[in-house]
């Protein structure tokens, strides 16, 4: 399974490196979202401003929006030229395909989160403190996000209305992840990482649950896509 996962992840990342859709479109899109938040809630700067106190939430909303795009992109690649048939006939373990695709999206998201964290800290004037908790919650939350995103990505793969279906399915499911990740970030940034550890546990629970769901459900869903 792990070898298959590596193969699929390698394939997806190679496609990304060659096409640069993630870097050229998804990252700029997320940056635009951060700017729009600034226009909607600004222009205050520094402690006490709306942007300052809302920074964790705005960061994670931007990440969620970008995740939908990344997942859509990952499955758009499979939809053209019947590539998904090739994937199905390849004899790879479906759980491996799931982990591979999720890992490839996860790698892209982590890069995106790094960029967004720096830019949002700059734009909203909030220093990145508690780096370990920030990084930890990013990794664990990303596992949860990409797991459930990949499951719904393959559900909407066969649907003609996939652009609209995926966000409808995805956002309600990741609401707990958004909540926990925002709280963990808030705790880290306000200098009390101890409060964030409980939320890190919540993130871990959802990450494990969604990973388990995906590993089991991906095979039959891919068959039907």
Partner 1 sequence: MSLVTTPVGLDSAPPPGAPAESGTSTSARPPAETGRSRSALVLRLVGAVALVGVVATVWLGLWVTPPDQFMGNLVRLLYLHPSIAWVMYVAYGVAFLSSLLYLWPRTRSLRWDKLAGASSEVGVVFTGLTLVTGSIWGRPTWGAWWTWDPLLTTTALLFVLYLGYLAVRRIPGDSEVRARRSAIAALIAFVDVPICYFSVLWWRSLHQAPSVDDPVNGKTYIHGSMAWTLLLSFVSFTLVYVWLLVHRYRLFGLAEREEGEGLALAIEERRAESQVPSR
Contact 34, 62 (CB under 8 A): yes
Place of tokens 């101890």: 194
143 binds partner 1 (CB under 8 A): no
Asked if 163 interacts with partner 1 (CB under 8 A), we say no
Question: For partner 1, which residue of 43, 89, 160, 194 counts as binding (CB under 8 A)?
Answer: 160
Q: Which stretch binds partner 1 (CB under 8 A): 18-26, 65-73, 180-188, 217-225?
A: 217-225
The correct pick among 17, 168, 192, 198 for binding partner 1 (CB under 8 A) is 168
Radius of gyration of the chain (CA): 18
| Least gap, CB of 172 to partner 1 (angstroms) | 4
CB 4 within 8 A of CB 88: no
Other Cβ atoms less than 10 A from the Cβ of 121: the count is 16
The contact pattern for partner 1, residues 171-190, with x = CB under 8 A and - = no contact, is xxx-xx--------------
Q: Does 212 bind partner 1 (CB under 8 A)?
A: no
For residue 74, the minimal CB distance to partner 1 (Å) is 19
155 binds partner 1 (CB under 8 A): yes
Q: Does 159 bind partner 1 (CB under 8 A)?
A: yes
Residue 103 CA to residue 158 CA, distance in Å, equals 22
Cβ atoms of 104 and 74 within 8 Å: the answer is yes
Q: How many helices (H) and strands (E) does the chain have?
A: 9, 0
Regarding 211 and contact with partner 1 (CB under 8 A), the answer is: no
Is residue 208 involved in binding partner 1 (CB under 8 A)? no
DSSP letter at 126 equals: -
């Amino acid at each position: 399974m792990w070898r298959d996962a590596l193969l699929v992840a390698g394939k997806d990342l190679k496609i990304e490196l060659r096409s640069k859709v993630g870097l050229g479109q998804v990252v700029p899109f997320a940056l635009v979202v951060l700017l729009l938040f600034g226009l909607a809630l600004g222009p205050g700067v520094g402690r006490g401003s709306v942007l300052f106190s809302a920074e964790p939430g705005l960061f994670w909303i931007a990440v969620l929006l970008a995740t939908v795009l990344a997942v859509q992109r990952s499955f758009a690649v499979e939809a053209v030229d019947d590539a998904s048939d090739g994937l199905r006939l390849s004899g790879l373990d479906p759980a491996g395909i799931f982990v591979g695709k999720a890992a490839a999206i996860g790698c892209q998201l982590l890069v995106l989160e790094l960029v967004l964290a720096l830019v949002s800290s700059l734009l909203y004037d909030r220093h990145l403190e508690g780096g370990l908790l920030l990084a930890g919650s990013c990794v664990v939350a990303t596992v949860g996000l990409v797991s459930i995103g990949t499951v719904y990505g393959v559900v909407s793969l066969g649907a003609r209305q996939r652009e609209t279906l995926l966000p409808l399915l995805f956002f309600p499911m990741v609401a707990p992840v958004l909540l926990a990740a925002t709280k963990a970030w808030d705790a880290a940034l306000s200098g009390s990482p101890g409060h964030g550890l409980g939320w890190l546990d919540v993130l871990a629970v959802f990450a494990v649950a969604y990973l388990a769901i995906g590993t089991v459900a991906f095979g039959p869903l891919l068959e039907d896509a």
